[in-house]
Every structure is written in structure tokens, then in C-alpha cells.
Amino acid sequence: MSFSIYVLQVVAFVDLLAVGLIVPLVSGHVRNLGGSHLYVGLLGSIYAGFQLVSGPIIGSLSDLKGRKTIMILTQLVCAVAYTVLGLTNSILIILLMRAVLGLFKQTQMLSKALVPDYEKDEKKQGDIYGKMAAISGAGITLGPIIGGHIAEDNPENGFLLIAIVVGIFFAINSSIVYFLPNCDKQKKQSKTNSKAKVVPKSVLQSAYGSIRQSIVELYYIEWSIYWDIFLFKALIGFAMGVYYSNYSLYLKTIYDLSPKYIGYVIAFQGVIGSICSFFIGYINNFYVHDKDYSIRNFHVFLVISISLFGLLTSFNVLMYTLWLIPLAISNAVGRLVTLEMVLKRSRGDHRGTLIGASNSMRSLTGVVSPMVSGFIGEYYGLSYVIYASLFSTLIGVILSYRNKIKLKVE
């Protein structure tokens, strides 16, 4: 692997380390400020809603203006937003910062879109994505442990301290990205534009023109080719979105765990997911005849469904933790499978746009899932939240099985 690939892996690691530090604590922080379960759900819905809008636009902007440049700008905005998140005691401002983060927090998507710019061998790209997911998963594993210890040792100002550290991490990431080589291909200009006199534009005019151009680019993509990928991603996204929306509160309420031990449980799940992602190349060797990924999709939905049922029937935290192992494995494989499906069917010119749109499909379900989770938690109890996740994955089992049979016949 080239040095640039290692740099991207560091960026992905620092990004999820920072996220792991603060995200598990946000719901509890809002509850301490007087917010209800519905407010906690709204936090997730706002973030996912803006991710839905920004995913394809940021991806398209990265195709047009350079992925490196766009990544630096988004990292700096996130640094400011996370810092403000800790400085305020207003739920309204916290909601506003979640909206800003939903717009600009696209580090993982941009990192993945940058990989083919530095590694042209398609066979090696899948292995790189697996290792990148494993390394970044190590960040999401360490983050909750460190954040849980800081919050428990500093109950009064722990969240503020963590928010400042997270802001610094994002600023460091922007500096790291700056040293990546420039290799984005510039769009060819028309003869008219090449002969025209260059007229200076204001910042607003330039931003408006770039966003407009990126939206126009969306019309050049044959979206019908990717409908099944987006559908499967939506079903998994809804299931995991509902499950994770009240994850920390669920562990605290049902099993009476402290922030420190909640961090350990989250970290354990992260370790399993990271190990699985690291060995994705080995896992793919068992599916050499699965050229269309239909068998892998079916297995992913089946294992997730079984895991969620196991979580529902767990009578103590140990049983709950054991069922997290197959859940983490299948979720990690599912993310990488849909990514490889997009890359296999896409053209290089629209790679960032398609990955952004794929992420936005998951964000679309993320708009609904936190509110569904919050509604169920508020009026029926947190123990019933997982039923909504299980319902979604069972639909996925049926549809992926039918799709597998259909493709086999064809």
C-alpha cells in the first residue's frame, strides 16, 4: 500500500475515535439537561436528515472540486461544531449543532471515495476497505471506553472536556489531509469557458454555483441500476438506527450499567466488528461464486435477525454481550458488501456521488428510526425498541431470499 493509503487509514481512525468519545454520551447529556426520550430521538433524526441531504451533494462536490479540498473544509466545520456542542447548555443549540454535523460530517464517505485515487487495482481496493474499516473500528472501540472514564471521573464538566478534545481531533485530521498528494482529475472545460474572461466571484456565488453544479451531476446517474443496493442498505440502516438510538440508555435502564461499563460493552462490539472488517478478504473467499452478492446479503439479514432475537431473550448483561458477537460480525459484513456493490457497478467519475447517495439512503432511514425509537421508548418502554429492528431485518430476510432465488434462475 502507498503512504497515502496509510494516511487515509489514520484519518478514518481519528474520525471514529473522536466520534466514539462523544456520541454515546450525547443522549445522557440531553437527558441531564431535562430533555425527554423524544428529544433524544430528535437528535438522531436531525443528524440523519441533514446527512440525507448532504451525502450526495458533498459526494458530488468532491467529484467536481476535489475530494481532498472538500474533506479539509468539512473537518474544520466539524471541529467548531463539536466544540460548541460542549460549550452550550441549550438543547436548541445542541439540536442546531447536530444539524451542522449532519451536513458536514462525511469523513468516512470521503475517505472511501479517495482510496481508488491512490490505489488503482480493484482487487486490492476491497482489502483496503476492510482494513480501513477495521482500523477505524478500533477508534470507535477505544472512544467509548475513554469517554466513559472521563465522564465518570468528571461528572460536572466531563462532557465539555470531551467536546473540546473532539474538536481538536477534527482540526488535527484536517491538517493530516492537507499533506495528501493532489490527484483529483479536473473536469474538462468547454471551449467557450476556456476563451471567456475569468470574472471574480464572491464566496456565496461560488458556493451556490458549486452546489448547483453538484445537484445537476445527480441527473447523469442511472439510479435504476442501484435500487436493490439502496433498499438493502435502507433496511439494515433502519434496524441498526432504531437499535443504536437508545443503545446507551437501554444498557443503563435495563441492566443498570454506569457510563464506564457502557463504554466497555460498546468497545467489545467495536472490537468484534473491527476484527471482522480486517478479515473481510478471508470471508469473501467463502463466496467466490457469489458474483452478485445476493447470497451474502441473505446471510447478513438472517444472522442480524437471529442476533436481535437473542438480544430480546437475554436475561443478563453477559448473555446480551454474547449475542452482540454475531450482530457485530453481520453488520460489519453488510456495510462492506453494499459498498463493494456500489463500487462494482459505478463509474469512476460518479464514485463520490454514488457513495454519498448510498450513505444518504441509510440516513433516510436514520431520520425515521430515532423518532420511532424515541416514541417506543417514551410510551411503551425501552425493552420494546428492539422489536422494530427485528421487524425490519425480517423483511430483509424475505426480500434478499427472493432476490437470491430470482438471480439464480436468471
Report helix, strand or coil for 291. Answer: coil
Report if residue 378 sits inside a domain.
yes
Report if residue 45 sits inside a domain.
yes
CA atoms within 13 A on the CB side of 182: 6
Give yes or no for residue 367 having a pLDDT over 50: yes
Report if residue 194 sits inside a domain.
no
**Residue 379 belongs to domain with CATH number:** 1.20.1250.20
Residue the block writes with cell 423483511 = 395
pLDDT on residue 59: 76
Report if residue 272 sits inside a domain.
yes
Which of 168, 140, 163, 139 has its CA nearest to residue 151?
A: 163
Domain of 272, in residue numbers: 3-183+206-409
pLDDT on residue 194: 42
Report if residue 201 sits inside a domain.
no
More confident: 387 or 339: 387
Report if residue 159 sits inside a domain.
yes
Of 233-242, 269-278, 338-347, 398-407, the range with the lowest mean pLDDT is 338-347
Look up residue 270 and give its three cell numbers: 467495536
pTM, two decimals, is: 0.64
Report if residue 195 sits inside a domain.
no
Q: Which pLDDT tens digit goes with each residue over 286-339?
A: 887 877 777 888 999 999 999 999 998 888 889 999 999 999 899 888 877 877
Q: How many CB atoms lie within 10 A of CB 227?
A: 10
Question: Total structural domains in the chain?
Answer: 1
Question: Can you spell out the DSSP letters for 187-249?
Answer: PPPPHHHHHSPP----HHHHHHHHHHHHHHHGGGS-GGGGHHHHHHHHHHHHHHHHHHHTHHH
Give yes or no for residue 390 having a pLDDT over 80: yes
Report if residue 157 sits inside a domain.
yes
Which of 49, 352, 338 has its CA nearest to residue 217?
A: 352
**Share of residues in the chain with pLDDT > 70 (%):** 82
